[in-house]
Amino acid sequence: MSLKAKSITGAFFNLSANGFAQVVNFVVYAIMARILGVEEFGLVAICLMVVEFCNLFVTVGISQNLIQRDHWDNKFASLSFWVLMGVSAAITLLIFMVAVPIAYFTYSELAAQLIAALAVVPIANGFRLVHKAKLERNFENKKLAAYEAAGILVGGVVSVVTALQGFGAWAIIFGKIVQALISTALTCWRSDFRPEKITSTEHLPEIITFAKPLIAMSFVNFFSQKTSNIIIAAFLGAATFAYASVARQGFSVINNLTFQPLNRIALAGLSRVETHRLSGVFSRVVGMTALFVSPVYFGIGAVAHPFIDVVFGDKWVTSAYLLSILAVMAPTQVMAYYLPNLLISRGLPRQAFKLNMINLAVNLALPLAAVPWGLYAVVGALVVANYITLFLKFALVKRHLGIGIGDALRNTWMFSMASVVMYAAVLFIERSHLYALDNVYLELTALVATGAAIYAGILLLFFRKQTLAVMGELKTQRAAKKKVVTP
């Protein structure tokens, strides 16, 4: 099998593992949301977000350097391993010295204990990353995917079982710790890398130089994506944060199960196309995305109430209203998603970084200003912020690549319009109780079927030509991908 085929096969297993992880985590998340109280669930979500931030110091930069180097140098890898262990130990110390006291005085003693227990996760990740990089260099992605899946599955079972035994918030923490330990143990067992004693630090400047920009970009990405969450947690409390967290969980799964596979096709196309054809290829890529992703986003928003009731329980009704509001962001997610990769594919990483800074600045300013008006105002401000950043991002891309928002709208507006009409119709039917079904499962099924029929009907009646053109483009891309995979 060729190197290119191995790379694509590895990417397939990574995506498969990610899809499995998303499904299992979502199921566990839904079960825990039903078992735990709102305040307790929100407290755990805040603690996990804190540890996720701390993990950035460990998981970004060093392993990427090991993967991209021409040759595996065990001395260089060993130095990287001990650097990671040192960083992990420093992060753990930081958690105990900073995060734990803040949690204790800001929230509760329980919050401090939960964060302290989660401090083992960065240590486990730091221990694992060099071993994982060695396996990835050897294209053993299938095994890595299996180890990830095993950790997630066992961790999920531990969370559910301990929750049913009455361990409350600790159940999720137990599951996360078990997940990290199992994935680490299996990865290290399979890898043939064994750290050596370090006698020279000559490669340390290279490790630091390579990691610094990646960590900086990851920080900006984290805060731009989590800004509203951080604001809600800091100013509106754990219970309010729990409602927002549940509302965004569905969209998180959608992003990972739709955008990531489509992004593999997009990256291949955008990186190889000639500059004079870039605009046309980009508009077709976002068209493919809009055809499938827009109706899913708007559809989830339209059936938010029965969906939340079925999956999480009726105590999360506030999350259903938030979900309906967040669905309006769909066009911005579709059109702006590929812009960083578009710039990177043309050798413009600094401009891609500026896109993240735009996200961070606007997503911080508007929701923060809306805090005095409560949760719905903050979420509404986030939606407005996404539309503002959409225009700002395309202004930047237009300046460097000549691709403006009109290029994105050219192949997406019809799918967005059909999705909006479907959204409005299904939302009206649901809120007016036109179907008058007492069974929430039947109601959800009927609403989903109605939405699918409305969306398909609009495309067939008014946008048949554009839809067939996008479907043909997708078929061509998939055929080309299969041709590359063939040894």
Would the pTM of this model clear 0.95, i.e. be above it?
A: no
Which single residue is written with the structure tokens 């593992």? 17
pLDDT at 37 over 80: yes
pLDDT at 487 over 50: no
> Cα–Cα distances in Å, from 69 out to 8, 65, 83?
19, 6, 17
pLDDT in tens, 265-279: 555 556 566 777 778
* Better-scored residue on pLDDT, 233 or 388: 388
Q: How much is the pLDDT for 186?
A: 92
Average pLDDT over residues 379-397: 94
8 A C-beta contact, residue 303 and residue 448: yes
Average pLDDT over residues 304-310: 92
Tokens of 53: 């931030």
8 A C-beta contact, residue 48 and residue 249: no
Q: How much is the pLDDT for 340?
A: 81
* Better-scored residue on pLDDT, 145 or 269: 145
Average pLDDT over residues 122-135: 86
pLDDT in tens, 333-372: 889 888 887 887 777 778 888 888 898 899 999 999 999 9
> Cα–Cα distances in Å, from 110 out to 43, 94, 101, 236, 271?
9, 18, 11, 19, 49
Average pLDDT over residues 416-439: 93
pLDDT at 120 over 60: yes
Amino acid in the structure at residue 387: Y
Q: How much is the pLDDT for 175?
A: 92
Average pLDDT, the chain: 83
Per-residue pLDDT band for 453 (boundaries 50, 70, 90) equals very high
Q: How much is the pLDDT for 207?
A: 78
Q: How much is the pLDDT for 262?
A: 59
Average pLDDT over residues 441-449: 95
Per-residue pLDDT band for 5 (boundaries 50, 70, 90) equals very low
Which single residue is written with the structure tokens 């997708």? 474
Average pLDDT over residues 28-43: 87
3-state secondary structure string across the chain:
CCHHHHHHHHHHHHHHHHHHHHHHHHHHHHHHHHHCCHHHHHHHHHHHHHHHHHHHHHHCCHHHHHHHCCCCCHHHHHHHHHHHHHHHHHHHHHHHHHHHHHHHHHCCHHHHHHHHHHCHHHHHHHHHHHHHHHHHHCCCHHHHHHHHHHHHHHHHHHHHHHHHCCCCCHHHHHHHHHHHHHHHHHHHHHCCCCCCCCCCCCCHHHHHHHHHHHHHHHHHHHHHHHHHHHHHHHHHCHHHHHHHHHHHHHHHHHHHHHHHHHHHHHHHHHHHCCHHHHHHHHHHHHHHHHHHHHHHHHHHHHCHHHHHHHHCCHHHHHHHHHHHHHHHHHHHHHHHCCHHHHHHHCCCHHHHHHHHHHHHHHHHHHHHHHHHHCHHHHHHHHHHHHHHHHHHHHHHHHHHHCCCHHHHHHCCHHHHHHHHHHHHHHHHHHHHCCCCCCCHHHHHHHHHHHHHHHHHHHHHHHCHHHHHHHHHHHHHHHHHHHHHHCC
Which single residue is written with the structure tokens 């911005």? 332
Tokens of 434: 């036109």
Average pLDDT over residues 242-269: 70
Q: For the chain, give the percent of residues with pLDDT over 70.
A: 86
Q: How much is the pLDDT for 8?
A: 44
Q: For the chain, give the percent of residues with pLDDT over 90.
A: 34
Residue ranges of domains in the chain: 1-196, 226-487
pLDDT at 2 over 60: no
Average pLDDT over residues 98-105: 90
